[in-house]
């Protein structure tokens, strides 16, 4: 009986396999952690210098700077983990400014007792994501907080990118008549994380759409598409992104619900859970505002990338004195697609 019980329990991990407070203390244990986990995975000439700052030559052009902390719960979910999310999320924020991502910093807040094997796995995942997007993780930081004062692992990544074009890609460039495109089907990331968190089983496993978006944006820019505005559809989903742009540009935006791609399995999961897919977070989707005449060309360029194969035109900018998003639903009636006050899903990224 006792043996059965012991067999069914995971073996307790020793202190040596867990993060200790001393790993954050600036002493030898911290140096060992940095060498054995971070420098080994992210190996590059900047990190090997072991200086607090990374120094690099910036290519000519304007630069973009963006930061995000990642507190997603759970750390591992179908289609990704906090590591791939932390790299792709920040790369995507750079891409949304029309910047080519160059370098990332990575800062870790570890909770005492966190499994070093999980840290290894996350760091490996960051390394793979960075390689895939051809960015370098050039500098970092490690802090440890006492048990019960964190939640395993929080990661901050901050990215620097270069703008190699003359456009101002921002809400202030939105124009009357702009076509509004969405780069793919919505709601995967939020539902994947929520299902993993709550231990929900759907008929098929919904995978997060977590992916880097710099390449499709770069393809549009290289083809001379005059992009007016871009935004990735993270926390708060499509509805929040459009409302933010409407509010910053004073645009009156019309969107047709039947044009917005949502996969059946995601729609079904949303109905079960009581979520609206238009408000659910994505991590590999964006909206683009482009001149109407470039709509079809933009769509066909985007659809060449697997991550954007469901790219669709979903609406247009009616005027610049509205600051409102109007949704025409499937039966033809119109309603305001407002910003939520709070959120549907906490700690989704």
Bridge partners (DSSP) listed for residue 51: none
Residue window 299-318: x/- pattern of binding to a copy of itself, with contact defined by CB under 8 A: --------------------
* Count of chain residues binding a copy of itself (CB under 8 A): 83
313's enclosing H/E stretch is strand 312-319
User: Are the C-beta atoms of 174 and 231 separated by less than 8 Å?
Assistant: no
Query: Residues in the chain, how many?
Result: 349
- Give me the least distance between CB of 264 and a copy of itself, in Å please: 25
- Give me the least distance between CB of 7 and a copy of itself, in Å please: 32
Q: Which of residues 72-101 bind a copy of itself (CB under 8 A)?
A: 93-94, 96-97, 99
DSSP 258: G
- Give me the least distance between CB of 214 and a copy of itself, in Å please: 12
- Give me the least distance between CB of 331 and a copy of itself, in Å please: 27
Closest to a copy of itself by CB, 27 vs 177, is 27
Closest to a copy of itself by CB, 109 vs 211, is 109
- Give me the least distance between CB of 90 and a copy of itself, in Å please: 9
* Interface with a copy of itself, residue 292, by CB under 8 A: no
Q: Tokens standing for 330?
A: 């499937």
Q: Tokens standing for 332?
A: 């033809």
- Give me the least distance between CB of 241 and a copy of itself, in Å please: 9
Alpha-carbon gap, residue 327 to 136, rounded angstroms: 41
Q: Which of residues 17-56 bind a copy of itself (CB under 8 A)?
A: 20-31, 49-56
Q: Which residues of 123-148 are buried (b: 16+ CB within 10 A; e: fewer)?
A: bebbbebbeebebbbbbbebebbeee
β-pair type (153-163, 179-182): unpaired
User: Are the C-beta atoms of 312 and 299 separated by less than 8 Å?
Assistant: yes
Tell which residue, 202, 268, 240, has the closest CA to residue 345.
Answer: 240
Q: Which of residues 135-194 bind a copy of itself (CB under 8 A)?
A: 138-141, 143-146, 148-151, 154, 156, 158, 160-161, 163, 170-172
Q: Which of residues 194-253 bind a copy of itself (CB under 8 A)?
A: 231-232, 234-237, 240, 244, 248
């Amino acid at each position: 009986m006792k043996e059965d019980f012991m067999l069914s329990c995971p073996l307790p991990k020793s202190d040596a396999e867990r993060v200790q407070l001393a790993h954050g203390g600036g002493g030898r244990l911290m140096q060992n952690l940095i060498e054995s986990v971070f420098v080994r995975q992210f190996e590059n000439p900047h990190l090997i210098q072991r200086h607090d700052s990374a120094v690099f030559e910036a290519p000519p052009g304007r630069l973009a700077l963006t930061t995000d902390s990642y507190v997603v719960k759970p750390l591992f979910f179908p289609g990704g983990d906090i590591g791939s999310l932390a790299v792709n999320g920040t790369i995507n924020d750079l891409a949304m400014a029309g910047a080519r991502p160059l370098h990332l910093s990575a800062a870790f807040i570890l909770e005492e007792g966190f499994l070093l094997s999980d840290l290894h796995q996350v760091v490996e995942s960051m390394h793979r994501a960075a390689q895939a997007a051809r960015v370098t993780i050039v500098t970092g930081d490690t802090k440890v907080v006492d048990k019960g004062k964190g939640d395993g692992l929080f990661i901050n990544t901050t990215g620097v990118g270069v703008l190699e074009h003359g456009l101002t890609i921002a809400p202030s460039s939105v124009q009357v008549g702009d076509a509004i495109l969405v780069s793919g089907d919505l709601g995967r990331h939020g539902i994947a994380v929520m299902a993993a968190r709550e231990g929900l089983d759907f008929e098929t496993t919904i995978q997060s759409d977590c992916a880097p978006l710099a390449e499709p944006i770069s393809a549009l820019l290289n083809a001379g598409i005059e992009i007016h505005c871009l935004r990735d559809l993270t926390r708060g989903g499509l509805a929040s992104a459009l409302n933010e742009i409407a509010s910053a540009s004073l645009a009156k935006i019309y969107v047709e619900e039947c044009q917005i791609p949502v996969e059946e399995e995601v729609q079904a999961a949303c109905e079960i859970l009581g979520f609206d897919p238009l408000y659910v977070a994505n991590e590999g989707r964006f909206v683009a505002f482009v001149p109407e005449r470039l709509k079809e060309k933009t769509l066909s360029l985007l659809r060449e990338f697997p991550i954007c194969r469901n790219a669709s035109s979903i609406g247009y900018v009616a005027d610049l004195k509205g600051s409102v998003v109007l949704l025409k639903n499937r039966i033809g009636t119109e309603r305001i697609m407002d910003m939520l006050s709070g959120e549907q899903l906490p700690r989704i990224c």
